[in-house]
Structure 1
Amino acid sequence: MRFIHTSDWHLGRLFHGKHLTQDQSYVLEQFYQVVKDTKPDAILIAGDIYDRAVPPIEAVELLDDTLARLLLDQKIPVIMIAGNHDSAQRIGFGSKLLAGQGLYVTGQLTNPLTPVVLTDSFGDVYFMPFTYAEPSLVRSVYQHNELLDFDGAMKFLVQRSLQRIPQGVRKVALAHAFIAGGQESESERPLSVGGSSNVSAGSFAAFDYTALGHLHNSQKAGGKQICYSGSLMKYSFDEANQTKGINIVDMDKNGQVEIELVSLKPKYDVCKVSGSFADILQNREKYPSQEDYMMVSLNDTQAILDVHGQLEKIYPNLMQIERPYLNIGGKLAKERLDYRTKTELQLFGDFFQQMTDRELSQEQKQTFVTNLDELLLKEREAKS
C-alpha cells in the first residue's frame, strides 16, 4: 500500500502581517500534482489543518477545494485528525456523513477509538487516528484520573486502540504530539506551558508506521517508521534552511516501509541574510536582489536613517530587520535580554523576582503552570 503523509498546513496563517492563503494555494497545487503522479491509496493529514480555531473564510474555501479534488477527482481516501491549532468540533463536523465519500475525519476524542480500515492486494491495513487531546480531556472521556501528563495519556490511548485491532494485521498511527528529542521551530505553539508535553517514541512501537504532526521540521522521531512530515511551508525564519515537503510511504505485505521525502517549492521562499548595511546595499554579487520573504540582520552599531525603506528596494518582501549590535546609550543591544525567546513561566518568574526579590519555588512554579494550562484550555474551548 502506498500512502502520503503530510501535516501542519496551517491554512489561514499570517506571516509578519501577510496573509499566506495564496502562497498555500500555490504549494497545494504542487501537492495535488504529486498525488496525481504517484497515485497513492490514501492521504494522511496529521493535524493543524488550520492555523486557528476559527479560520478565515479563504482558508476554509481552500481546504474545501483541495479535499474535493482529492476525493471527487482522484477518488483517494483522506484520513485527517485535529491538531492543537484546530477546533476539534469544527474539524469533525459531518464526519459520519463524509466517511461515506472517503473523507475520514477525527476531531473530538471518542470512547472507544475507531480505526479506519483500508484494503490492498495483501489484505487490511488499520489506520488509528489519535486526534490531539490534552491529558485532562483524556481523563474526562475515559474516566481515568491517573493520566496526569501527555506521555501517560498517549500510552493509555495506544493500549486502548490496540484492543480494537486484530493481531497480525498491518497498523498505521496518526498522532499530533511532541516526541521527546524532536527538533522544534519558532512557529510551533507549545502543547503545554510546563514542559510536560513530551511523548516517548516507544508509545508507537507496535505500529508499522506513525504519521506525526506538530513539529515543523521533517524528521524521524525515535525510529525509521516514526516520522514527522513537517509543515506545508516555512512559517518562521528559523525554518529558512529546512526542506519542506511530504512523505510518500510504500508499505509491503509484512508492514515494512520505504519512505521518500518529496520537496514542495513555495512561490516565495523564507530567507535570512546578514552583513553591514553598506555592503548589503551596494554588493549585488554577494547580496542579489530577490523577492523572497526576507529577514536582514545588520551588524552595524550606529543608527541608520530609513533603513527599512532603503533595504526594501533590494528586497520588496522584506519582513524583518534585526539590529543585534545597535549601540543605544553606549550599550550594545546584544547585551540586552530578548524577552521574546522566554516562556510564560520564565517571564512570570522574572516578574516575581523583580517584585519580591525572591525566586519562584518549585511548588509556586507548578501552581502557575497548572493554572495557566487550565486558562489556555478554556480559551481554546471558548473559540471552538
Structure 2
Amino acid sequence: MRFLHTSDWHLGRLFHGIHLTSDQAHVLDQFLALVRESKPDGIIIAGDIYDRAVPPIEAVELLNQLISQILVDYKVPTIMIAGNHDSAERLGFGSRLLAAQGLYVAGALRREIEPIILYDEHGPVYFAPLTYGEPAFVRERLSCPDVSNHEQAIEAMVQHVIRKIPNKARSVAIAHAFIAGSLESESERPLSIGGSSMVKGAVFQPFCYTALGHLHNSQQAGNPSIHYSGSLLKYSFAEAFQRKGIHLIEMDKVGGITVERISLSPRRDVRCIKGYFKDILNHSIDQGNQQDYVSVTLLDEMPILDAMGKLREKYPNVLQIESPRFLKKGVLSGLPRDHRKLSEKELFAAFYHQMTGENMTQEQQMHLVDVIETVYREEREAIL
C-alpha cells in the first residue's frame, strides 16, 4: 500500500500579521500534483488542519476546494484527525455522511474508536484514528478513571482500538502527540501547561507505522516506524533551517515500510539574515530571494534611524529586526534568556516576582496553570 502522510497545515495562519492563505494554497497545489503523480491508496492528515477553532472563511474555502479535488477528481480516500488547534466538534461535523464519499474525519473522541479499513492488492490495512483528546476528556469518554496525563490518554485509545484489529494485520496509527525526545519549535502550542504532555514511542509498538502530527520539524520519533511529517510551511523564524514536505509511505504485504520525504517549494521562504546594516543593504552577505519573509539580526552597536523602512526597500517582507545589544538581558528583570522564548507560566512567574519581590507558591502556580489551560480550551471552542 502506498499512502501520503502530512499534518499541521494550520490553514488560516497569521505570520507576524500577514495572512498566509495564498502561501498555503501555493504549496497545496504542489501537494495535489503529488497526489496526481504518485496515485496513493490513501492520504493521512494528522491534525491541526486549521490554525484555530473558528478559521477564516478563506481557509475553509481552501480546504473545501482541495478535498473536493482529491475525492472527486483523484478518488483517493483521505483520513484526517483533529489536532489541538482544531475544534474537534466543528471538524467532525457530518463525518458519517462524508465517510461514504471517502473522507474519514475523526473529530471529537467517540466512546468507541473504530479503525478505518483501506485495501490494496494484498488485502486490508487498518488505520487507527487517535484524534487529539485532553486527558480529562479521554478519562470521561472512554471510562478510564486512571488517565491523568497525555501518555495514559494515548495508551487508553490504543487499547480501545487495537482489540478491533485482527492479530498480525497490517495497521497504521494516526495521532497528534509529543513523543519524548523529539525536537520542538517555538510556533507549536504546548499540549499541557501543568502536567506532562510527553508520550513514549513504545505506546505505538503494535502498529506497523505511526503517522504523527503536532511537532513542526519533520523527523523520526525514536522508532524507525514512527514519524512526524512536519508542518506544511515554516511558521516561525526558529523553523528557518527546517525542510518542509510530505512523507510518501510504501507498505509491503507483511507491514514493512519505506519512508520517502518529498520537499515542497514555498512561494516565499522564511529566512534569517545576520550582519551589519550597510552590508545587508548592499546584499554583500545575502544572495537569497528578496521577496522572502526575513528576520534581520543587526550587529551594529549604534542605533539606526528607521532601520525597518530602509531594509524594506530591499526586502519588502522584513518582518522582524533584532539587535544583540537589546537581548543581553530580558525585558523583565532577572530573566535568564530572551523573554519571547519563555512559556506563559515562566513569564507570569517573573512578572509576579518583579511586582511582589516574592516567588509564587506551589498553590498559586497550580491555580495559574488551571487558568491558562481554561483559556486554551475556551479559545479552541470560541464562537466569534
1:14, CA displacement in angstroms? Answer: 0.8
Which residue number in structure 1 is paired with residue 243 of structure 2?
243
The code of the aligned residue for 2:104 comes to: Y
Partner-residue secondary structure (3-state), 1:260:
strand
CA distance in 1, matches of 2:215, 2:59: 21
In the superposition, the TM-score normalised over structure 1's length comes to 0.95
1:30 aligns with 2:25: no
The code of the aligned residue for 2:155 comes to: K
CA distance in 1, matches of 2:234, 2:253: 35
CA gap of 1:294–1:345, structure 2 versus 1, over 3 A, is same
1:185, CA displacement in angstroms? Answer: 0.9
Which residue number in structure 1 is paired with residue 78 of structure 2?
78
Residue pairs, 1:254-273, within 5 angstroms: 254-273=254-273
The code of the aligned residue for 1:340 comes to: R
Which residue number in structure 1 is paired with residue 330 of structure 2?
336
1:195, CA displacement in angstroms? Answer: 5.2
Which residue number in structure 2 is paired with residue 171 of structure 1?
171
Deviation larger for 343-352 or 11-20: 343-352
1:58-88 C-alpha deviation (Å, 9 max, x unpaired):
1111101100111100010000001111111
CA distance in 1, matches of 2:382, 2:57: 19
1:16-46 C-alpha deviation (Å, 9 max, x unpaired):
1111111111100001111111110000000
The code of the aligned residue for 1:52 comes to: R
- Tell me the number of residue pairs that the alignment of Structure 1 and Structure 2 aligns: 377
Which residue number in structure 1 is paired with residue 10 of structure 2?
10
**Root-mean-square deviation (CA), in Å?**
1.5
In the superposition, the TM-score normalised over structure 2's length comes to 0.95
CA distance in 2, matches of 1:309, 1:249: 46
1:351, CA displacement in angstroms? Answer: 2.7
Deviation larger for 273-282 or 371-380: 371-380
Aligned-residue sequence identity (percent) comes to 54
Which residue number in structure 2 is paired with residue 287 of structure 1?
286
Which residue number in structure 1 is paired with residue 316 of structure 2?
316
CA distance in 2, matches of 1:379, 1:74: 36
The code of the aligned residue for 2:265 comes to: K
1:144, CA displacement in angstroms? Answer: 2.5
CA distance in 1, matches of 2:242, 2:136: 34
2:53–2:381 contact (8 Å) kept in structure 1? no
2:275–2:285 contact (8 Å) kept in structure 1? no
CA distance in 2, matches of 1:352, 1:300: 34
1:123-175 C-alpha deviation (Å, 9 max, x unpaired):
11000001110001111212323211111111111111111111121010100
Partner-residue secondary structure (3-state), 1:29:
helix
The code of the aligned residue for 1:15 comes to: F
1:328-374 C-alpha deviation (Å, 9 max, x unpaired):
xxxxx423343222112112222332344332344443343234323
Which residue number in structure 1 is paired with residue 92 of structure 2?
92
CA gap of 1:227–1:301, structure 2 versus 1, over 3 A, is same
Deviation larger for 192-201 or 361-370: 361-370
Structure 1 unmatched ranges of 5 or more: 327-332
Which residue number in structure 2 is paired with residue 349 of structure 1?
349
CA distance in 1, matches of 2:364, 2:199: 25
1:219-271 C-alpha deviation (Å, 9 max, x unpaired):
01111110000001111111111110000000001101000000000010001
Which residue number in structure 2 is paired with residue 151 of structure 1?
151
1:310-331 C-alpha deviation (Å, 9 max, x unpaired):
11111111111112225xxxxx
Partner-residue secondary structure (3-state), 2:328:
helix
1:184-228 C-alpha deviation (Å, 9 max, x unpaired):
111111111125111111110110000000000000111111000
Partner-residue secondary structure (3-state), 2:302:
coil
The code of the aligned residue for 2:211 comes to: A
The code of the aligned residue for 2:184 comes to: E
Partner-residue secondary structure (3-state), 1:137:
helix
Residue pairs, 1:131-210, within 5 angstroms: 131-194=131-194, 196-210=196-210
2:52–2:380 contact (8 Å) kept in structure 1? no
Structure 2 unmatched ranges of 5 or more: 332-337
CA distance in 2, matches of 1:268, 1:195: 37
CA distance in 2, matches of 1:38, 1:74: 11
CA distance in 1, matches of 2:273, 2:290: 11
The code of the aligned residue for 2:328 comes to: K
1:101 aligns with 2:95: no
